[in-house]
């Protein structure tokens, strides 16, 4: 098994009783209400899946009859626009939904039900998405490279499009539709203006044609300076009438080429990208101009809040908040502001971004990263379900207890009519799509949680495992446990207790806590960990940068006191003396070293668990993951030794006697980093 089929594996159900029960219910598929491309797709997907799972032909047609599954588009106010219902009517199953796409989602849900070994439902199964725009963001470039992509090159073959349609595009669409993703931004946020040229729009349109039957709309990241770069104008000032006119004409052109175009994603005035501030305007001026250019078209603007000024003397943690909070209420109705889960940048654990709950008048999109930029690329096994859930469940207290990030972004807290969530894709041209086979679980979990953020991440892990790796209950259990622990394990051997941003410069791989100089101070490690002879950690209380003041009083109170601050966030907010006793009973130094050691040891535990399931998993997949786990252990030791020895130069304390001190000196490890970074 080379992993290409992802979780859409429809191998025959081993349980004959189950097969029989389903066979009686699924003799054929009847499509009512004509045959739009999406309904046809739904019927075809259901047919494909059922034939595989049940091991016999399933016909598709317009006629009825006993034992056939009926697909039916029917108004149902309880289902929203995209919700589905699978129920029994007159002895047969009916998949209904108010739109074609809803029926498609219902078909995939039905397949999931069968594939995870459940009997035909006795009560109706209904579900509707809690978030409206469920987006994958590709950071893919015209030349086929992928920014922070670790699974080969881009799946989009721009040079060959629009004539050559790689069959992968359709398989990609199927996978996304099966988990409810309904929008894709095809290009990098560090955008090339090229995508707005007629030549490229034709290419993007060809991709959109493949996505459309699967209910997926295509979006573009835009380069702010496009009017200058490709429009021949002398400015990109959003308030300049010529610039406005240029965008309006461009947008109309886009909709002529792609009638269901979704809209724009914008990174502006961030990390050197141009933006409205270059002309003395603000983010709202820029976003509103683009929203205006969309006119009557059914499109949106997602404006990113990932900004931090060059040469800032402050704390990077606060910068997006300081720039965006004052703009709350100033954005046009079609604008959503897209905010990363945490205030710095996709670290292995971050407190939730203080903008959540702080911009009640603006719909906020939660952006999470599936590509593991700071989480071991495609080498380390890290299941991100728990990370995503941790953010969604964080309580902002913005309207009292229970004002979770989930309720902020699904629009229920502030009663917004539009809502969105975005995952930065981890997909590439590798045969198995994601490099690490478990990367597929992150794509999967994102989609499932985007649809319904109340799902439990461990239940999603189990579901994915059953659909992808094995159906044997004991093995499913073992693998799901590994998945569920994996993120905490990664945090322990890299950045325990709230350490952050101490990784290798630029590449963002491996440890480099000693990094003191970079193009900007907030790209170094020492900026964040602040190790000295007294202790470790970034004081963000009122005595320090006071970033804590950006949160609601309840959050501030909890995190602002080192005694009540959860150990996982401790060094995010406090400079803690090495000898300070923590709630765990250990001193900071002992706790830190113990976590580094137990994290690295836990990778051995993961290896043992993986060995146990060997007879139950495809051999090719098993070997691949086992090999990657060996790298992971070697690199966990690298992180452990690097960090323990480096911080020891400040703490000047012995490694606790229960742990075996590293055998290699710090100097040797520093050289290792140089080799990795090819410096």
Report, as residue numbers or ranges, the catalytic residues: 271, 345, 373
Tell me how far apart the alpha carbons of residues 204 and 51 are, in angstroms, rounded to a whole number. 33
Closest distance to ligand BDP from the beta carbon of 607 (Å): 30
Edge to edge, what strands does the sheet with 59-61 contain?
Answer: 59-61, 28-31, 68-73, 92-97, 84-89, 125-127
CB 573 within 8 A of CB 540: yes
* Nearest approach, Cβ of residue 489 and ligand BDP (Å): 22
Q: How far is the CB of 272 from ligand BDP (least distance, A)?
A: 10
Nearer to ligand BDP, 147 or 209 (CB): 147
Nearest-approach distance from CB 115 to ligand BDP, in angstroms? 35
Closer residue to ligand BDP, CB minimum distance, 306 or 650: 306
Q: How many whole angstroms separate alpha carbon 402 and alpha carbon 329?
A: 23
Minimum distance between the CB of residue 267 and ligand BDP, rounded to whole angstroms? Answer: 5
Residues in the chain: 679
What does the binding site for ligand BDP look like in residue numbers (CB under 6 A)? 147-148, 189-190, 267, 306, 345-346, 373
Task: State which H helix or E strand residue 368 sits in.
Answer: strand 364-369
Alpha carbons 173 and 213: distance in angstroms, whole number: 9
| For ligand BDP, the closer CB: 180 or 343 | 343
Looking at the Cβ atoms of 1 and 147, the one nearer to ligand BDP is: 147
Closest CA to 193 of 237, 228, 233: 228
Q: Which residue is nearest to ligand BDP (CB)?
A: 345
Q: Judging by DSSP bridges, how do beta strands 263-266 and 217-222 pair with one another? A: parallel
In the bound state with ligand BDP, the residue whose beta carbon lies nearer, of 219 and 346, is: 346
Nearer CB in complex with ligand BDP: 145/564:
145
Classify residue 163 by its DSSP letter: T
| Residue 640, H or E segment | helix 619-651
Show Cβ contacts of residue 286 under 8 Å, excluding neighbours closer than 6 positions. 224, 238, 266, 268, 275, 276, 303
Residue whose CB is less far from ligand BDP, 154 or 593: 154
CB burial of residue 16 (10 Å; 0-12, 13-18, 19+): exposed
Q: What is the CA radius of gyration of the chain?
A: 26
Phi-psi category of residue 144: left, alpha or beta, with phi > 0 → left and psi -120 to 50 → alpha = left
Q: How far is the CB of 143 from ligand BDP (least distance, A)?
A: 16
CB atoms within 10 A of CB 63: 9
User: CA 603 to CA 637: how far, in whole Å?
Assistant: 10
Owner of token pair 């000898």: 579
Least separation in angstroms between residue 221's CB and ligand BDP is 10
């Amino acid at each position: 098994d080379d992993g290409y089929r992802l979780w859409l594996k429809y191998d025959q159900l081993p349980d004959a009783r189950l097969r029989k029960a389903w066979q009686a219910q699924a003799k054929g598929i009847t499509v009512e209400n004509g045959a739009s491309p999406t309904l046809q797709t739904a019927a075809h997907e259901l047919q494909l899946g059922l034939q595989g799972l049940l091991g016999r032909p399933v016909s598709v047609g317009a006629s009825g009859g006993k034992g056939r599954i009926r697909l039916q588009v029917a108004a149902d106010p309880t289902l929203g626009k995209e919700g589905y219902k699978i129920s029994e009517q007159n002895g047969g199953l009916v998949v209904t939904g108010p739109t074609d796409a809803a029926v498609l989602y219902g078909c995939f849900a039905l397949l999931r039900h069968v594939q995870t070994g459940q009997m035909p439902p006795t009560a109706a199964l209904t579900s509707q998405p809690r978030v409206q725009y469920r987006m994958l963001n590709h950071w893919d470039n015209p030349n086929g490279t992928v920014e922070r992509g670790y699974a080969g090159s881009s799946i989009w073959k721009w040079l060959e499009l629009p004539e050559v349609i790689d069959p992968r595009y359709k398989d990609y669409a199927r996978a996304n539709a099966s988990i409810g993703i309904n929008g894709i931004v095809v290009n990098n946020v560090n955008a090339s203006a090229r995508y707005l040229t007629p030549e490229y729009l034709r290419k993007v349109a060809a991709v959109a044609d493949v996505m459309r039957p699967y209910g997926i709309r295509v979006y573009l990241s835009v380069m702010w300076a496009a009017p200058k770069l490709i429009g021949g104008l002398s400015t990109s000032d959003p308030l300049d009438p010529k610039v406005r006119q240029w965008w309006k004409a461009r947008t109309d052109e886009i909709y002529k080429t792609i009638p269901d175009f979704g809209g724009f994603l914008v990174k502006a005035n961030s990390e050197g990208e141009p933006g409205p501030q270059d002309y003395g305007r603000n983010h709202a001026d820029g976003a509103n101009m683009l929203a205006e250019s969309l006119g009557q078209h059914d499109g949106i603007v997602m404006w990113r809040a990932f900004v931090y000024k060059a040469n800032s003397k402050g704390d990077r943690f606060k910068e997006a908040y300081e720039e965006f909070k004052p703009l709350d209420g100033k954005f046009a109705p079609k604008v959503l502001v897209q905010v990363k889960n945490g205030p710095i940048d996709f670290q292995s654990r971050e407190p939730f971004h203080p903008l959540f709950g702080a911009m009640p008048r603006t719909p906020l999109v939660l952006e999470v990263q599936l590509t593991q930029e700071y989480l071991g690329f495609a080498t380390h096994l890290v299941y991100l379900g728990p990370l995503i859930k941790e953010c969604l469940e964080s309580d902002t207290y913005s309207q009292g207890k229970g004002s979770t990030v989930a309720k902020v972004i699904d629009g229920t807290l502030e009663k917004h009519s539009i809502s969105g969530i975005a995952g930065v894709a981890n997909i590439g041209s590798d045969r198995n799509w994601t490099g690490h086979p478990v990367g597929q679980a992150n794509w999967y979990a994102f989609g499932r949680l985007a649809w319904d953020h109340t799902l439990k991440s461990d239940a999603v892990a189990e579901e994915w495992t059953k659909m992808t790796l094995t159906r044997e209950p004991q093995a499913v259990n073992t693998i799901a446990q590994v998945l569920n622990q994996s993120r905490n394990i990664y945090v322990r051997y890299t950045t325990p207790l709230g350490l952050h941003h101490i990784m290798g410069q630029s590449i963002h791989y491996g440890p480099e806590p000693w990094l003191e100089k970079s193009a900007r101070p907030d790209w170094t490690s020492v900026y964040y960990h602040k190790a000295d002879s007294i202790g470790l950690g970034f004081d963000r209380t009122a005595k320090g940068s006071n970033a804590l003041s950006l949160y609601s009083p309840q959050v501030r109170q909890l995190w602002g006191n080192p005694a009540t601050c959860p150990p996982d966030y401790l060094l995010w907010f406090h400079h803690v003396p090495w000898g300070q006793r923590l709630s765990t009973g250990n001193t900071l130094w002992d706790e830190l070293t113990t976590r580094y050691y137990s994290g690295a040891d836990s990778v051995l535990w993961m290896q043992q668990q993986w060995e146990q399931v060997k007879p139950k998993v495809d051999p090719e997949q098993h070997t691949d993951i086992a090999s990657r786990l060996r790298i992971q252990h070697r690199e966990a030791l690298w992180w452990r030794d690097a960090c323990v020895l480096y911080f020891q130069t400040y703490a000047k304390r012995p490694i606790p006697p229960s742990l075996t001190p590293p055998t290699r000196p710090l100097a040797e490890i520093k050289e290792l980093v140089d080799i990795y970074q090819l410096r």
